[in-house]
Amino acid sequence: MTKLATWNVNSIRARLPRVTEWLDEAKPDVVLLQEIKTVAETFPRDEIEDRGYNVAIFGQKSYNGVALLSKSPIEDLVTGLPGDEADEQARYIEAFTGGIRVGSIYLPNGNPAPGEKFDYKLAWMERLFERIKELMTYDEVFVMGGDFNVCPTNGDVYDPKGWADDALCRPESRKRFQALMHLGLTDAIGVLQPGAGVYTYWDYTGGAWQKDFGLRIDHLLLSPHAADRLVDVGIDRKTRGREKPSDHVPVWCELAADRLQPA
DNA sequence: ATGGTTGTGTTACAA
């Protein structure tokens, strides 16, 4: 059994006490981190490695930054989303670890929309489509997880009308997210916890957490072979109520070592 | 209430 989790930590240095306590509780085998907001040189590597994890980092000063933690060796490392050599934003890291190919995705927010940032988001999603299309040909167990900054349906946001024009909910974003799914991916959370009110992010402002004004924008997308092994999923909501929390919470799934047999 | 909060790193910008 392999437990994989994704978490947008909103600064690994500011969040280190929250991250280490959660690692000790949740005991994930593989972790996909986003918004580490620092470079490899200043990533708190020792505190993570002391807990038995190998670490791969694609960092950036002040903004963005993604990382992989794994109890197994990390191989075949890819840093940066292929398809645009001029893209300087650290939003994608991919590797093969413990028999699973994994990607940590920090998809651009895209606000304000319309505008240059929204155009960048949509172009980035086109590149992600091409990368996943390539990975599908490998016929592997893979998990693409992260902060997709896309709320797939109106059931995934507390106030659909109020958010209709936001880059996270606009039809252009949802259309491209659906195109990814149509490559043959399975939304792990969507499968086992369908319906409204399952959120992964609550804004810091306006008492959003206390009012449960949330959105579901952090996803674990499984290849067909990974979906065949899906055993359980969860969202660690309790972390949002802790001291100095991230505005996102961890989302996790468990994959069986072998393909599940029919009953 | 033209607001609210957090983080980085300066006093602006991104989310």
Distance A214 CA to B3 C1' (A): 20
Closest residue to B6 (CA to C1') is: A204
* CA A173 – CA A114 distance, rounded (Å): 11
Burial per residue of A11-49, b for 16 or more beta-carbon CB atoms within 10 angstroms, e otherwise? ebeebeebbeebbeebebbbbbbbbbbbeeeebbeeebe
Residues A61, A38: contact at Cβ < 8 Å? yes
Any strand B atom closer than 7 Å to A34 CB: no
Any strand B atom closer than 7 Å to A242 CB: no
Residues A105, A65: contact at Cβ < 8 Å? no
- For A83-112, how does the pLDDT look when each residue is reduced to its tens digit (9 = 90+)? 999 999 999 999 999 999 999 999 999 999
- For A23-75, how does the pLDDT look when each residue is reduced to its tens digit (9 = 90+)? 999 999 999 999 999 999 999 999 999 999 999 999 999 999 999 999 999 99
Tokens linked to A101: 């190919």
* CA A128 – CA A125 distance, rounded (Å): 5
A195 falls in which pLDDT band (50, 70, 90)? low
Any strand B atom closer than 7 Å to A10 CB: yes
Nucleotide nearest to A38 (CA to C1'): B8
